[in-house]
A and B are shown apart, each in its own frame.
Chain A
Amino acid sequence: MGFRLNRRALLRGAGVAVALPVLDAMLDDRGLLSRPAHAGSRTIPVRLITLHWPNGTVMSRWNPTGTGPAYTLSESLRPLAGFALPDGTEVPAMRADVNVISGLKNTVADLGAGGGGHIRALAAFGNGMPMTLTSAGGITIDQVAANALGGATRFPSIPVAVQPAETANWDGASAAIFNNLSWAGVNRPVPADRDARALFQRLFSAPSSPSAAERAALYRRSVLDYVRGDLARLDRRVGAVDRQRLDEHLTSIRELERQSTVNTAVCALATAPQGVEAMSGDEYARLMMRLMVMALRCDLTRYASFQLYHPGNLYPWLGPAWTNLERHGLSHRTDAEANDLVVIATQYNVKQFAYLCSLLKDASEGDGSLLDHALVYATSEVSEGASHTYTDMPILLGGKGGNRVRAGRHLRYANDRTFNDLFVSMLNYLGVPTERFGHDGTAPLPDLDA
């Protein structure tokens, strides 16, 4: 038996327990997916998670020494050698499953229409395009993959964030840029699920009784039919610019209709997240990660983005010194004490990345793990937080992308390539043939292949 998920596999940690009734049935003896959706390829799909942490780091204490598999972990990256969670649970070393990529740059942060030093770089996260006043500058890599291949699952993609949306803005760029890692295009954010219970409900709720469910489904279809007709009638009367927003509404309505027809089998519900109110931000982030990974394991989606805290957050769970320490302000101090604290915060972000990778590694799939069939792209919007530096970005790439990526190395570039080139590589691993991406992605990075 190639696929070794327990039928009632419990995710590690408190809070989420979901039974998995469907996925193993979809795999044949060799552990390959045999669902019609994959009849053409008969290979396990490659999943993508993009993850953002805010405010960059102190680069002199980030970059490892040496390249290739024998590199030496820097102090910021030490959690890749394994660490213990606050509750004592060990997270094993993930170093062998991760590439540290340095020396790539973001060339578009200064080309856009506005925004501060962080936001105009954040706007380029995942899409590598100059921003507009109200929007990221283009479609993000997760949405490119979702458009190409997301039709096989109930949700083409699932963006997740751990904090309530930020609504404040002064006279700068829209807070939409700040709140969204995933964009379907200009002015088309794909909003994140931020509430653990609502996300659980959305992913794992099952209809109550079959006949009531049938009638409810019929009614929903009828209502959406009407809305679609209304959109068509209105669309004929408005201009091209406004039509874009109506078109998006129409796309969203079609998406609702499709959800009810594709992969309606859901992972059966066991228990919903408990004790959410009492959780620290750290625990809540890990809960959201578990829910997101559950969605991947249940094949409810294959593409996700994950947004950690807002730049101005407090990290009180890191210790007494952090109770009133605002992370963004900290990053703009350059004294020695502040540098030390930023390194601690960075180590914490690396731990979160490693924890996420470990959840994927825990899920067996085929001859290996879900992590072998995934790419986990993680970085911040800036490298050096104090000066808003957009070169030598601190990038971590977890997973083996369907065993096509040779993991466990430090890859060093000379700031002659941009992260858009990395996105070209990643899309090809994901099974989306791609030659160009974003503002200036023109060729895949040569050194990633296994």
Chain B
Amino acid sequence: MNWRGRITNTGHRLSRAFVAAVLAGGCSGYVGDAPGRPDAGSPPVIHDPGPLLVRRLTNVEYDHVVEDLTGQRERVSADFPADPKVVGFDNNAESLTVSALHAERYRDAAERVAAETLASPERRAAVVGCSLSDDGRDACLRSFVERFARRAYRRPATATEVAALLQLAGAAADDPDRDAAAGLVIQAVLQSPSFLFRTEFGDADPTRPGQHRLRGFDLAARLSFLLWDTAPDEALLDRAAAGGLDTPAALEATARAMLADPRARRGLAAFYEQWLRLYMLGGVHRDPAQFPTWGPALQASMTGETSRVVDDLLWRDGANFLDLLTGRTTFVDGNLAALYGVAAPAEPWGRMEMNDAAARAGLLTHASYLTLTARTEGSTLIHRGKFVREVLLCESMPSPPANVPSIPEPVPGETEIERLERHRSDPACNNCHRRMDPVGLGMRRYDAVGALHLVDAQMRPIPQAGSLYGFDPPDFDGPIALGRRLRAAPEFSQCVVRQVFRYAFGRPEVLGATDDGPSIDAVTARFRESGYSFREMLVALVGSESFRYGREGAR
């Protein structure tokens, strides 16, 4: 049903600025700009680690956690209301609420999971583990409640909670189905705020007024959701209980061990699939007459290439993550080989090196990026530039203010570039569009599914000169040259850290010396020192103050 596909032209509902300061400053703003920096020489300030937030599980996290807890493989969140993406990610704490419809769906899901878990002897054995027939029923119930709630709440249940759950189980005391009591416990725990929300409390730190130091179970959950996209397992909870996370060194060591676990592959994919907007390919529509090869298979091939390249940079020891923008190493299947005009690899998705003629090196030549940014009506240039600004440089591009004219219709004889130049001749438009359109100009040789064309329909060579406003020198020739330019720019490596920061903490970062700036700078420095190892950067983030402390906020 292609009419129900995702939006394909997102242009005018896209970003504006986040804060009034950015708005007031026109188009020069960065997402996290703080109002000002303290003067040099002012006394050292303890920076604000950001608020301790109550964060509802995202639908994806919910599915992972429920599978860990009960062995439920089928996604039960399929009919939950969708989680909105804010600054690129679906885990923004403020916008994750529990509406009445959520509560209804959580209830239905909990009832279903409880019934299916207890109906499967294998799953029941793993979850309940003892018999609820009359002999030993009380002891069995209690051990089940304590174990299940600890795992689900990511901390031991309090005595009050255990008592309340046992009292609830008592409602089914005379049910001929002896397992009904366990079903009630599963249902209740899966609807409890202690399960649905990640809550962090920490301990007040007397040396840091207003700040809380996080410990054991809070840190275990932060680690686990960041690195595994799910809740801590028994072993991690045990380590938290034993105080094994309470120093930066122990945290970093734990993070390294967790990154060596296969679950980290899924965890980090959850980050980069959102960061690089790969999910948006699912909603792209193309005219079959013009792009006959477009379809779910080619879409999967595109996602497959970028995912494999990123995975290679994440998991190959010694890989430099900045190669994302320049690497000639890639992975293609038959579909992409045909699209790229290269020989198909001996085995699908085999590692291969692109030669000069292929004109493929780095993300900006991936079909995924070139396709998900391609639009109709000539706005492709704008969106390809917008992606570079927002996704790779963390700049914020305000949307056009009200009542501004659209991009003008072409006049006869005018090229697309001249038309956009005419548009930029309006100062109101130029302030932002000079940052976007000339970047997109550099990708003109790549069409709306990323195929390369060296000449146009009249056999005239297609130029690929582009310009990156604000960088010195601004001019570049084609996406490969742009990739090299961006790779060398400190803004890009810092932006990678900032994107991870948004994802890790469920909020937009606030740059500035008294806010998130010091942590981001420290993590960026270690990213650089490690030779741009993405995993080492994550380890640095885990060891940073932002990870280990939280502000009381309005508490």
Contact = CB atoms under 8 A, between A and B. Distances in A.
Interface of A: 109-110, 113-120, 122, 133-135, 163-179, 184, 187-193, 195, 198, 202, 215, 218-220, 222-227, 229-231, 233-234, 237-242, 245-246, 248-249, 251-253, 255-256, 277, 279-281, 284, 309-317, 323-324, 326, 328-329, 332-335, 386-390
B13 A119 contact: yes
Interface in B42-61: 51-54, 56
A396 to B, nearest CB: 23
Interface stretch (B241-249, B312-320, B331-339, B400-408): B400-408
B402 A166 contact: no
A220 B403 contact: no
Contact of A230 (B52, B54, B161, B376): B161
A219 B98 contact: no
Nearest to B396: A171
* Most chain A C-beta atoms within 10 Å of own C-beta, residue among B17, B110, B168, B399: B399
Contacts of B529: none
Interface in B1-29: 1-20
Contact of B7 (A117, A310, A323): A310
Contacts of A198: 79
Contacts of A332: 11-12, 377, 406-407
B86 A326 contact: no
B104 A245 contact: no
B10 A191 contact: no
Interface stretch (B136-144, B280-288, B301-309, B536-544): B280-288
A249 B194 CA distance: 12
Contacts of B168: 222-223, 225-226
Interface stretch (B126-134, B184-192, B256-264): B184-192
B81 A165 contact: yes
Interface stretch (B65-73, B195-203, B509-517): B195-203
B351 interface: no
Given A238-B555, A252-B100, A389 B390 contact: no
Nearest to A120: B16
17 contacts: A117-B401, A134-B92, A163-B4, A174-B95, A187-B94, A193-B101, A215-B175, A219-B172, A227-B192, A230-B193, A234-B197, A249-B97, A252-B99, A311-B9, A311-B13, A316-B3, A388-B404
A78 B404 CA distance: 30
Given A172-B16, A227-B188, A187 B95 contact: yes
Nearest to A195: B79
Given A255-B103, A388-B403, A329 B83 contact: no
B160 interface: yes
Interface of B: 1-20, 31, 51-54, 56, 79, 81-88, 90, 92, 94-104, 107, 110, 160-161, 164-165, 168, 171-172, 175, 180, 184, 187-188, 191-194, 196-197, 199, 201, 277, 279-280, 283, 285, 287, 375-377, 379, 386, 390-391, 396-397, 399-407, 409, 508, 552-555
B79 A239 contact: no
B7 A223 contact: no
Given A113-B16, A223-B168, 7 more contacts: A114-B18, A168-B85, A223-B107, A227-B193, A234-B199, A239-B52, A309-B3
B552 to A, nearest CB: 7
Contact of B15 (A114, A195, A225, A316): A114
Contact of A316 (B2, B107, B376, B402): B2
Given A175-B84, A219-B172, A223-B184, A115 B97 contact: no
Contacts of A387: 403-406
A314 B285 contact: yes
B100 A255 contact: yes
B82 A313 contact: no
Contacts of B397: 171
A239 B82 contact: no
Contact of B171 (A219, A227, A284): A219
A171 B94 contact: no
B164 to A, nearest CB: 6
Contact of A252 (B12, B103, B197, B403): B103
Given A116-B399, A219-B172, A249-B196, A170 B84 contact: no
B114 to A, nearest CB: 10
Given A248-B97, A324-B285, A242 B14 contact: no
Contacts of B92: 134, 174
By secondary structure, the B interface counts as loop
A253 B103 contact: yes
A333 B7 CA distance: 18
Given A171-B88, A219-B172, A134 B16 contact: no
A372 B193 CA distance: 44
Contacts of A256: 100, 103-104, 107
A167 B95 contact: no
Q: Which 10 A-B pairs have the closest CB atoms?
A: A239-B555, A172-B15, A312-B7, A165-B82, A191-B81, A116-B399, A252-B103, A176-B84, A281-B3, A242-B54
A187 B386 CA distance: 27
Nearest to B15: A172
Contacts of A333: 377, 406, 409
Contact of B83 (A167, A192, A253, A334): A167
B28 to A, nearest CB: 15
A334 B14 CA distance: 21
Contacts of A326: 8-9, 285, 376
Contacts of B390: 170-171
Contacts of A168: 6-7, 10, 85, 277, 279-280, 283
* Most chain B C-beta atoms within 10 Å of own C-beta, residue among A202, A215, A311, A329: A329
A280 B3 CA distance: 8
A388 B402 contact: yes
Nearest to A221: B171
A39 B98 CA distance: 34
A110 B400 CA distance: 11
B15 A170 contact: yes
B372 to A, nearest CB: 9
B160 A233 contact: yes
B419 to A, nearest CB: 12
Nearest to B407: A332
A175 B409 contact: no
Contacts of A242: 53-54, 199, 553, 555
B171 A222 contact: yes
* Most chain A C-beta atoms within 10 Å of own C-beta, residue among B6, B180, B391, B396: B6
Contacts of A239: 52, 552-555
* Most chain B C-beta atoms within 10 Å of own C-beta, residue among A195, A223, A225, A239: A223
A283 to B, nearest CB: 10
Nearest to A281: B3
Contacts of A110: 401-402
A174 B83 CA distance: 10
Contacts of A248: 97-99
A351 to B, nearest CB: 16
Given A230-B194, A249-B196, A117 B402 contact: yes
